[in-house]
């Protein structure tokens, strides 16, 4: 039920994002979702890609600090209040959301939210009981 997410520690310097994105593109790795959190000197790029294991190797071989972690992809109807329902179910299950970001959905009317939780099993159970779809990694990676 989980998907692999890459986290890349990168210098906050002109061209570094382009280097990462070009490197993946030139190796036929498709970026499905990406987010960047930065400080003055460094940034943390989190992304979902078509082949996380290969992408990790490619980026490490190029000198980037990379790690993988597990996250959940939640399908949410693209209507006001639906995402609020999902986050309330997670909170009421006693689970903390560490971070989240969105993923472009291949289906009209559906949003996909990537969620990292401190207790993913409990979070998934709560979401399923609430009627939310947990999206399989095969569907995400393509």
Q: Where are the domains of the chain?
A: 2-68, 70-141
Examine domains 2-68 and 70-141 and report if their fold is the same.
Answer: no
Could you give phi then psi for residue 105, rounded to 5 degrees?
-95, 140
Instruction: Report d(CA 93, CA 121) in Å as an integer.
Output: 10
Which residues contact residue 58 at a Cβ distance below 8 angstroms, ignoring those fewer than 6 apart?
23, 24, 27, 29
What CATH number should be reported for the domain whose range is 2-68? 3.30.2130.10
Predicted confidence band at 38 (pLDDT cuts at 50, 70, 90)?
confident
Contact 39, 77 (CB under 8 A): no
Which residues contact residue 12 at a Cβ distance below 8 angstroms, ignoring those fewer than 6 apart?
38, 39, 40, 41, 42, 43
What's the whole-number mean pLDDT along residues 134-142? 80
The model's pLDDT over 107-128, given as tens digits with 9 standing for 90+, comes to 676 778 888 888 889 999 999 9
Task: Judge residue 61's burial from the number of C-beta atoms within 10 Å of its C-beta, 0-12 exposed, 13-18 middle, 19 or more buried.
Answer: exposed
CATH class of segment(s) 70-141: alpha beta
Judged against a pLDDT cut of 80, whether residue 142 lies above it is answered with no
Judged against a pLDDT cut of 90, whether residue 140 lies above it is answered with no
Query: 78 is written with which tokens?
Result: 């693209």
């Amino acid at each position: 039920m989980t998907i692999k997410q890459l986290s890349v520690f990168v210098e906050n310097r002109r061209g570094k994002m382009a280097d990462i994105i070009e490197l993946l593109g030139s190796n036929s790795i498709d970026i499905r979702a990406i987010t960047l959190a930065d400080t003055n000197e460094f940034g943390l790029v989190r992304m979902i890609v078509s082949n996380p294991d290969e992408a990790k190797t490619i980026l490490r071989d190029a000198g980037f600090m990379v790690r993988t972690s597990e996250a959940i992809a939640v399908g949410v109807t693209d209507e006001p209040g639906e995402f609020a329902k999902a986050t309330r179910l997670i909170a009421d299950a006693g689970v903390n959301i560490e971070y989240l970001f969105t993923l472009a959905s291949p289906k009209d009317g559906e949003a996909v939210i990537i969620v990292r939780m401190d207790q993913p099993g409990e979070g998934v159970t709560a979401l399923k009981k609430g009627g939310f779809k947990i999206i399989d990694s095969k569907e995400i990676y393509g």
